Structure 1
Amino acid sequence: MHLPSLAVLAALVAAPLAASAAAAEDFTVRLEQVPELKAVFGEVESRTVVPARARIGGTLRTVSVTEGSQVKEGDEIALVVDDKLALTLNAADAKIKELRSQLENARVELDRTQQLVAKGVASQSRLDTGKTQFDVATNQVTAAEADRAVVLQRAREGAVLAPADGRVLTVPVTPGSVVLAGDEIARIASGPYYLRLSLPERHAADIREGGTVRIGRRGITQDTAGTPATARLGRVVKVYPEITAGRVMADVEVDGLGDYFVNERTLVWVEIGRRAVLAIPPALVSTRHGIDYVRVATPRGALDVPVVLGARLTDAAGERVEVLTGLADGDKIQAPGH
């Protein structure tokens, strides 16, 4: 059997060692500035909430929406009926019939007078009087028809219309209720939705318009909302200049709130400053017997140094873990097994 030479054996042993050394590069620990985040609750608000009001007084005959209904601008959401309008309409119709009869008599009288004047039997003054009576009767019919149109318009205004597209928040009335003109029939959140934050007064100087916040998934617990690393981003669009009861208010715009409830709370992380940390890639940490170690390169060789780890950080630089104790700025770390 042919045995490999010593040179070949040395090359075979050196190859994986060289590959391991190349794969496990040293990492230099540096102090870096990371955002200081504070977890607060944000409430979902609608930018505009408009009331749908009754335009006439009367009895609420029907209500076609409930809380949570989606409506379009101009949709009929309720009907108010005033029984007196039907009686007024009947009286207007009767008045119009009476005046039209008078108008017809005035027209016949005017025609007869014109024929008599043409024959020279009647005077011009009688003709002028006939024309005046005809014009008066015509104007009376026109006025009566206008009055009837007003009654019809009031009857049509019994329909309560949605003032904007949106979702119905409350319907404080029931069919059969007596309402007056201007009474609120429903409240409609026409959006757009945003988050209202309430922060302690000590953070008033740290939050600014245009700042970035992190919004957790829907829910008010850490389990459902996730972590800042998995949160989506929003933008502070308004910071209110008045502090009330030790709280400063701010508004945050974020997409995807259309299916939330108004006044629903969700977990939000707000940047209130920056702090210096030491952070390393998690792959450089090894755990033995419940203790975390990192391998630090020193002039006398590599040493396994115990460390206490903090929160995990995720940003454009990738995923890292904060080191609370055990390392200093400038330390060089080797990967486990280097």
Structure 2
Amino acid sequence: MKIIPTFALLIAVCAQAAYAETMALSLTPVTDWKAVYGRIEARDRLPARARIGGTLTELQVAEGDLVVAGQSMAMIIDEKLAFQLAALESQKVALAAQLANALAEVKRGEDLLRQGVTTAQRQDALRTQAEVLAGQLAALDAEMNVTRQNQAEGQVLAPAAGRVLEVPVAKGGVVMPGETVATLAVGGSFLRLSVPERLATALHEGDVIEIENGDLAAEGRLARIYPLIENGRVVADVAVKDLSDRFFDARVLVRLAVGSHQALMVPRSAILTRGGLDFVMLDGAGGPVMRSVVPGVEVLVNGVAQVEILSGLQAGDRIVTDATAQAQP
């Protein structure tokens, strides 16, 4: 196999430079990015609580399930409520019997009053007794409705639509009133950042945030910056379109714009790598010249890959924009 020396290849490349497109270099503002970790969080976390105490007889959700508002999630049964309802039913039967007897006495008294056998005072007492029994019966019905409502409140309903994050109870366990049966993530998800306070002045609402995670959108926008600094760090929220809510509290690498500097940017296609060195083809007055350069970071500018040149070039130099194509034999 015949090996072409590096200098010979460079000469061949320079010979084709006259047919390539060129551009004049100028200083371009480049955004400085700071890599930090963000965390995917729920906009709101709502607990689904037990409204009564008792035994958890049914548990219909698990971590990760999607629920809608009002969906049944669990069932709690307090056996004492059934006994109370049975006792109230018995009292209602007794009061109903007493009320029926009192109404019969009132009717009999009215007949006797017309015959002049009894007095009006006696008849008024009979009516009062019947009214008292009717009131007691109505109060008993209301108390029974309260007991039935307590039984119905044993059904734990989803307070809003969302995803179940945590279920800290188990079927068959005893829960107390107000105890959390499940925690829901509702209102979607967002990205929360915690950055050093020295970067606080560089953050502005609406700034573009780059996300370096293939599962997420390519970028987001800084939606809110919290004024309270905790432990030397600033907390901020990033709005990201179509942010996945499959995992919460997951860490995501993001890049924040914290400033800018002037740099010489060349297209990625203008850089040739030969023998471990990087070259850029210049369109000089005496002809094409290969210049050794030190490239920096690569960024996308208007959809075109651009590379920052740290040394080897200066503003005003004319370079061949597609030196890679010119190097093809």
TM-score (structure 1 length as normaliser): 0.85
Residues 34-68 of structure 1 deviation map (CA, whole Å, 9 limit, x = unaligned): 11111211111111111111111112222121111
Q: Note if contact 2:162-2:186 (Cα within 8 Å) is conserved in structure 1.
A: yes
CA distance in 1 between counterparts of 2:235 and 2:45 reads 19
1:179 matched residue in structure 2: 175
2:201 matched residue in structure 1: 205
Shift of 1:218: 4.9
Shift of 1:282: 2.3
Matching residue within 42, 51, 58 for 2:54? 58
CA distance in 1 between counterparts of 2:41 and 2:196 reads 20
Q: Residue 48 of structure 1 aligns to a residue in which SS?
A: strand
Residues 89-148 of structure 1 deviation map (CA, whole Å, 9 limit, x = unaligned): 111000100110111011111111222333444333233222212211111110111111
Q: Note if contact 1:44-1:260 (Cα within 8 Å) is conserved in structure 2.
A: no
Q: Residue 114 of structure 1 aligns to a residue in which SS?
A: helix
Residues 187-214 of structure 1 deviation map (CA, whole Å, 9 limit, x = unaligned): 1111321111111222121112111101
Q: Residue 104 of structure 1 aligns to a residue in which SS?
A: helix
Q: Residue 241 of structure 1 aligns to a residue in which SS?
A: coil
Q: Note if contact 2:210-2:254 (Cα within 8 Å) is conserved in structure 1.
A: yes
Structure 1 position 191 matched with structure 2 position 187? yes
CA distance in 2 between counterparts of 1:291 and 1:154 reads 80
CA distance in 2 between counterparts of 1:175 and 1:25 reads 73
- Aligned AA (1:262): F
- In structure 2, the CA distance between the partners of 1:334 and 1:82, relative to structure 1 (3 Å rule), is closer
Q: Residue 227 of structure 2 aligns to a residue in which SS?
A: strand
Matching residue within 210, 216, 219 for 1:233? 219
Shift of 1:276: 1.3
Shift of 1:302: 3.1
Q: Note if contact 1:218-1:266 (Cα within 8 Å) is conserved in structure 2.
A: no
2:262 matched residue in structure 1: 276
Residues 217-276 of structure 1 deviation map (CA, whole Å, 9 limit, x = unaligned): 257xxxxx8xxxxx6121111112222222221111112224331101111111111121
- In structure 2, the CA distance between the partners of 1:103 and 1:218, relative to structure 1 (3 Å rule), is farther
Mapping of residues 121-132 of structure 1, within 5 Å: 121-132=117-128
CA distance in 1 between counterparts of 2:148 and 2:320 reads 88
| Structure 2 unaligned residues grouped into runs of 5+ | 1-16
1:253 matched residue in structure 2: 239
1:79 matched residue in structure 2: 75
- Aligned AA (1:37): W
- Aligned AA (1:334): V
2:158 matched residue in structure 1: 162
Structure 1 position 328 matched with structure 2 position 324? no
Q: Residue 83 of structure 2 aligns to a residue in which SS?
A: helix
Q: Residue 67 of structure 1 aligns to a residue in which SS?
A: coil
Matching residue within 247, 268, 276 for 1:290? 276
Q: Note if contact 2:189-2:245 (Cα within 8 Å) is conserved in structure 1.
A: no
Q: Note if contact 1:296-1:303 (Cα within 8 Å) is conserved in structure 2.
A: yes
1:7 matched residue in structure 2: none
Q: Single out whichever of 58-67 and 112-121 deviates more from structure 2.
A: 112-121
Shift of 1:164: 1.4
Structure 1 position 117 matched with structure 2 position 113? yes
The alignment yields a C-alpha RMSD, in angstroms, of 2.1
Shift of 1:83: 1.3
Residues 3-37 of structure 1 deviation map (CA, whole Å, 9 limit, x = unaligned): xxxxxxxxxxxxxxxxx96x733201010111111
CA distance in 2 between counterparts of 1:126 and 1:287 reads 119
2:147 matched residue in structure 1: 151
- Aligned AA (1:324): L
CA distance in 2 between counterparts of 1:40 and 1:288 reads 35
| Structure 1 unaligned residues grouped into runs of 5+ | 1-19, 220-224, 226-230
Q: Single out whichever of 188-197 and 309-318 deviates more from structure 2.
A: 309-318
Matching residue within 266, 289, 302 for 1:303? 289
Q: Residue 137 of structure 1 aligns to a residue in which SS?
A: helix
- Aligned AA (1:174): A
- In structure 2, the CA distance between the partners of 1:325 and 1:163, relative to structure 1 (3 Å rule), is same
- Aligned AA (1:36): D
CA distance in 2 between counterparts of 1:303 and 1:214 reads 37
CA distance in 2 between counterparts of 1:315 and 1:103 reads 90
CA distance in 1 between counterparts of 2:189 and 2:125 reads 70
Mapping of residues 207-226 of structure 1, within 5 Å: 207-218=203-214
Mapping of residues 85-96 of structure 1, within 5 Å: 85-96=81-92
